[in-house]
Structure 1
């Protein structure tokens, strides 16, 4: 596309930051790409909410942002007195305790880590919540023992294979599902296999193939990351690009050399220190007199260019995430559920704000349209 790369490279920092945070708003990429069409495809409705809110005092021992997500999620989760509630991948059972206290009901919370179960039981006892924290690996075959034909499964940001497992078991063993999916790339499979028959047929017809790494695009939006975290991430990325330029020169080979990941807390204090660490990991001998400043500047220059060119990818983050959520909706619809897909909170609270709310239909009753086309009123 002539002119697109030049336009992106010419963007100043203000325009770059704006388009990173809001890729569909007043985008200059619309001259080359279908920005308005993509924006319309991801314009999902907000799921209707109950007016009842938990007291703020219940937020003790829960992070502020996490508590707001729990409140928004719980307000959109219908609870029936005759339907058992099961929280999937519960952690310390923050959501389970909130639902139990809000509705005066028993909640079974499944969590595989014993330490989290123990901490959750203490909190439930202290707060008088009727919650049973159960040590359970939800990926194990015996996870079905907690599910009845009428149970309501709930999960707030269950990752990858964990929420896929929930959907697959719910299809045969549950009466309702309320799910906010997350981290689609956290899966054992190297290639994405759609959950629904419809999506499998569609991808086969159109030759669409997604690798596990491709799925990371759907969760790369970081509007909630603290400014300090963004700076540290940018510095680490610039250093990696600077080392990449260095290793190409030292080796005399113009090819990428992958370097292991390193947590921010373990990152060396200087770029030169990072280069020595990375070279050691790859068995690479660096020159005795290393012009670290030159390669650090090159890393910063390359990062600025990469960030601008990646704005094209940013346009497809949310469409891919919505497509994956639609596949999950279709899987539940094919299993006989009536399903709503929409948002449960503002993206400023969490970019992972998609919610699937599903209710099993009586046998023999139609569950509505089969397909990825939006329903009336759901663009």
Structure 2
């Protein structure tokens, strides 16, 4: 077993446990800073809007600013960023047809993944493939034979059509990896790739592939909180013995809260959503004379292009109570803005521990594979600005 990965995990585990009072809570449940009359609380209260925004946007500046309170965080090293390796690529120039169906930064992520994955000539199984964009690029750039596994029929059909039009050696199989016996699609002489497979989807892959003894795995995990159980089921021995104890799904969400790829409109709608939810909470607590926070289910983002009153009426119907007809909407929006400013300050502190928690989760997966007999490397496969979920696990078994 790699001492380096194990030591990294134990260091992260120690820090996350020591400082869990600063990240293991939900800011929406608090109407004041949860750290009492401390120097940290005083520093947060003194932050102006401009400095607060800079701290939100600049992770390095944020870590330096708070280092007086959490000096150990500067001792945590990021996983290495390896240089691009095109030795396995036969065609590296991007043909015009490839980018037509791929939106945003996905194409750059695919190309970065392809250059950082283990190179070779094994048949490739693309896990949770969608339309098979990654598999299609591997077929073209490395002349690999690819089987793409995807549960949505329509995506399989569209992906197969594209592969056929381009005469690529890519075959789609419709399968729900969470309910079917997917081991039949895995074998030893194979390389499995998964780019941003969510929660239980990539956990299922790790468990099934390691059981079969698949030769090579290259995985970029995502959305760690999308699991069926209320609490996270640790994979490795080290994580099962963690000082943290069981992590809830809400706590896992912290690991994926960094957003750098969203457009201006989506960012604005997210901010409006938080503000309105907090303003509604102020209204609910005032009228119902309660202090407890009541969560709401998710709603489409278009809700937040309308009026706050419409959202509040919907939320009240969800919670089964009547909003008074003479409600002063502007007053509660102002209270929501004050609460939002407070939440932002708490999130600044919580966000210091976001990368640590994500590394903890990635190392849990890496150590699990080591315990199944794999040689494992964890690295950044691309720049953080291209995608915050930029940690790749590469595992091989001889």
Question: Above 0.5 in TM-score?
Answer: yes
* Cα distance change on mapping 1:220 and 1:259 into 2, 3 Å: same
Q: In the TM superposition, what are the counterparts of 1:255-270 in structure 2 within 5 Å?
A: 255-267=292-304, 269-270=306-307
Distance 1:256 1:207, change over 3 A: closer
Cα deviation, residue 60, structure 1: 2.3
Q: Describe the shift of the 1:277–1:32 C-alpha distance in structure 2 as closer, same or farther (beyond 3 A).
A: same
Which range moved further: 172-181 or 8-17? 8-17
Cα distance per residue 1:97-128 (max 9 Å; x no partner): 10011122210000011000000011111122
TM-score scaled by length of structure 1? 0.89
**Which residue is 1:332 aligned to?**
369
In 2, Cα distance between equivalents of 1:77 and 1:207: 32
* 2:151 equivalent in structure 1: 112
Is residue 2:171 matched to residue 1:135?
A: no
Flag structure 2 segments of 5+ consecutive residues without an equivalent: 1-34
Tell me how far 1:130 sits from its aligned partner: 0.8
Deviation of residue 145 (structure 1)?
A: 1.3
* Number of aligned residue pairs: 355
Could you tell me which runs of 5 or more consecutive residues in structure 1 were left unpaired when the two chains were aligned.
362-379
TM-superposition CA deviations, 1:296-323 (whole Å, max 9, x none): 1110111011101211100011100001
- Give yes or no for the alignment of 1:66 onto 2:106: yes
Q: Which residue of 1 aligns with 2:11?
A: none
Q: Does the aligned pair in 2 maintain the 1:339–1:358 contact within 8 Å?
A: yes
Q: Is the 8 A contact 1:87 1:107 kept in 2?
A: yes
Write out the 4+ residue segments of structure 1 that deviate beyond 3 Å after TM superposition.
none
- Corresponding position: 1:246 with 2:283: yes
Q: Distance in 2 between matches of 1:182 and 1:108?
A: 21
1:290, CA displacement in angstroms? 1.2
Cα distance, 1:209 vs structure 2: 2.4
TM-score if structure 2 supplies the norm length?
Answer: 0.85
> Alpha-carbon deviations, 1:165-205, whole Å to 9, x = none?
1111121220000000000000011111211123213x1xx
Match of 2:94 in 1: 55
Q: How far, CA to CA, are the matches of 1:268 and 1:105 in structure 2? A: 46
1:110–1:136 Cα contact (<8 Å) kept: yes
Counterpart position of 2:57: 21
Q: Does the 8 A contact of 1:190 with 1:211 survive in 2?
A: yes
Q: State the match for 2:130 in structure 1.
A: 91
Cα distance, 1:309–1:121 mapped onto 2, change above 3 Å: same
Match of 2:330 in 1: 293
- Aligned counterpart, 1:305: 342
1:1-379 alignment to 2 at 5 Å? 2-25=38-61, 27-34=64-71, 37-51=72-86, 52=89, 53-57=92-96, 58-81=98-121, 83-173=122-212, 174-201=214-241, 203=242, 206-267=243-304, 269-361=306-398
